[in-house]
Amino acid sequence: MVELKSLDSINIDQPRRVMKYVLVWCESGTLTLQIDGSDFSLSPREAVTITSGQIHFFKDNRAKGYILEFTYDFFCKDDNDVELIFENGLFCHFDDNQIIELINHKTVHKQFELIEKELHERPYQYLTSVHSRIELILVELNRSKVGRGDEIWKPDALFLKFLELVRASFDTNQTLANYADELHTSEQKLNEQAKTHTGKTAQMVIYGLITSEAKRLLTYEPSLSVKEIAFQLGFNDPFYFSNFFKKQIGVSPKAYREQID
């Protein structure tokens, strides 16, 4: 649901995937971590967000700070919460992780300390308090992004729910019509939302998320064959999956795996 640990008390030196939103905050020292194949080095007063499902591990951890993890169900009580965790690309589903230097770092550090105290002591309505404090931290992250000149991006909750649903349904090979039905909307509405937020059709967004997942599996799951990966992603025909991947990336799954070895 929600966890907070100090960076100097944990050891995440092997690739892992958690179906939670992860925030790494470096208060002092240095930290290098890899997220979906890309390295990020944090200095004091910097943070990086990791979207649910992204594979990550620490390559070098000499930092003091915190790692906060929370589930979508814990945080997203209403559409405003959904929009907040994705506002300005904070937790982005499109492989666009960013290091954020916190302007008001003292406020952020204080909120982490209070969350740690709440989770340890568990007073009355402590989860409500923790939720509110995470909101404050996300607001400070957004303010820091805007303060450095990032373009303000306010997403729509429907589109974000669509992304979450696709991410949770890779193995079922659902159609756009299926997603529209589950979200009680129309294909046309999803296409409008996708065009507004990405400039692509909803189907192309689906393809992009599938491709990102395929790259994760090819990179971090060497024991899985291309055929097994195809089945995990809802492809009944491994040959069709190989053609799909090559069309998206420019190389076959086998060639992609050889490039990263």
Burial 168-190 (b: 16+ CB within 10 A, else e): ebbeeebebeebbeebebebeeb
Q: Look at residue 152 and tell me if it is in a domain.
A: no
Residue ranges making up the domain that contains 118: 2-147
Residue 33 has which token pair?
């971590």
If one counts the domains in the chain, the total is 2
pLDDT band of 152, cuts 50, 70, 90: confident
Contact 66, 4 (CB under 8 A): yes
CATH number of the CATH domain containing 116: 2.60.120.280
Residue 151 pLDDT > 90, yes or no?
A: no
Neighbouring CB atoms inside 10 A of 7's CB total 22
Mean pLDDT over residues 142-161, rounded?
Answer: 91
Asked if pLDDT for residue 258 goes beyond 80, the answer is yes
Query: Is pLDDT above 80 for 183?
Result: yes
Q: Are residues 136 and 203 in the same domain?
A: no
- Residues 37-64 have a mean pLDDT of 95
Mean pLDDT of 128-157: 94
At residue 153, the pLDDT reads 85
Final residue in a domain of this structure, among 147, 168, 193: 147
Residues 88, 151: Cα–Cα separation, whole Å: 7
Q: Which of 215, 213, 223 is nearest to 253 (CA)?
A: 215
pLDDT at 261: 67
Question: pTM, whole model, 2 decimals?
Answer: 0.89
Token duo for residue 151? 């373009």
Q: Please check whether residue 24 is in contact with residue 31, taking contact to mean a CB–CB distance below 8 angstroms.
A: yes
pLDDT the model gives residue 256: 92
H or E element: which one contains 200? none
Same domain, 18 and 124: yes
Do both 137 and 162 map to the same domain?
A: no
Give the other-Cβ count within 10 Å of 78's Cβ. Answer: 8
Strands (E), the chain: 2-6, 16-17, 21-35, 38-42, 46-50, 55-70, 99-101
Higher pLDDT, 173 or 193: 193
Chain segment 236-256, per-residue pLDDT in tens: 999 999 999 999 999 999 999
Q: Are 82 and 21 in contact (CB under 8 A)?
A: no
What are the tokens at 138? 């996300």
Q: What are the angstrom distances between the C-alpha of 9 and each of 6, 64, 70?
A: 6, 9, 18
Cα 17 from chain centroid?
10
Q: How many CB atoms lie within 10 A of CB 45?
A: 20
User: Is pLDDT of 89 > 90?
Assistant: no
- Please report, as a single letter, which amino acid is at residue 83: E
Q: Name the domain boundary from 147, 170, 185.
A: 147
Residue 223 lies in a domain: yes
> Across all residues in the chain, what is the average pLDDT?
93
CATH code (residue 211): 1.10.10.60
Q: Is 82 exposed, middle or buried (0-12, 13-18, 19+ CB in 10 A)?
A: buried
Which whole number is the average pLDDT over 194-214? 94
- Tell me what the mean pLDDT of segment 203-228 comes to: 94
| One-letter identity of residue 249 | I
Q: Which residue(s) pair with 39 in the sheet?
A: 34
How high is the pLDDT of residue 95? 74
